[in-house]
Amino acid sequence: MGTGIVSRLIIGFATLIIILAIWEAAVKMGFVEALFLPAPSDIWHRAVDMTGDGSLIANIFASTRRVMVGFLLATIVAVPLGIAMGSSPLCMAIFNPLLSFLRPLPSMSWVPLSLLWFGISESQKYSIVFMGSLAPALLYIIDSTRNVDPLLIRAAKNLGAKRHNIMFGIILPAALPQIITGLKVMLGIAWTCVISAELIAAREGLGFMIMNGKEYFQTDTVVLGMVMISITVLLTDLVMRIIERRLVSWQD
Question: Rounded mean pLDDT of the chain?
Answer: 85
Whole-structure pTM value? 0.81
Q: Each residue of 178-193: pLDDT tens digit? A: 888 888 888 888 888 8
HEC secondary structure over the chain = CHHHHHHHHHHHHHHHHHHHHHHHHHHHCCCCCCCCCCCHHHHHHHHHHHHHCCHHHHHHHHHHHHHHHHHHHHHHHHHHHHHHHHHCHHHHHHHHHHHHHHCCCCHHHHHHHHHHHHCCCHHHHHHHHHHHHHHHHHHHHHHHHHCCCHHHHHHHHHCCCCHHHHHHHHHHHHHHHHHHHHHHHHHHHHHHHHHHHHHHCCCCCHHHHHHHHHHCCCHHHHHHHHHHHHHHHHHHHHHHHHHHHHHCHHHC
Q: Each residue of 83-95: pLDDT tens digit? A: 888 888 898 899 9
Q: Each residue of 27-68: pLDDT tens digit? A: 989 898 888 899 999 999 999 999 999 999 999 999 999 999
For residue 3, what pLDDT is reported?
A: 55
Q: Each residue of 94-153: pLDDT tens digit? A: 999 888 888 888 877 888 888 888 888 888 889 899 988 888 889 888 888 888 777 777
Question: Quick one: pLDDT band at residue 1, thresholds 50, 70, 90?
Answer: very low
Q: Each residue of 193-206: pLDDT tens digit? A: 888 888 777 788 89
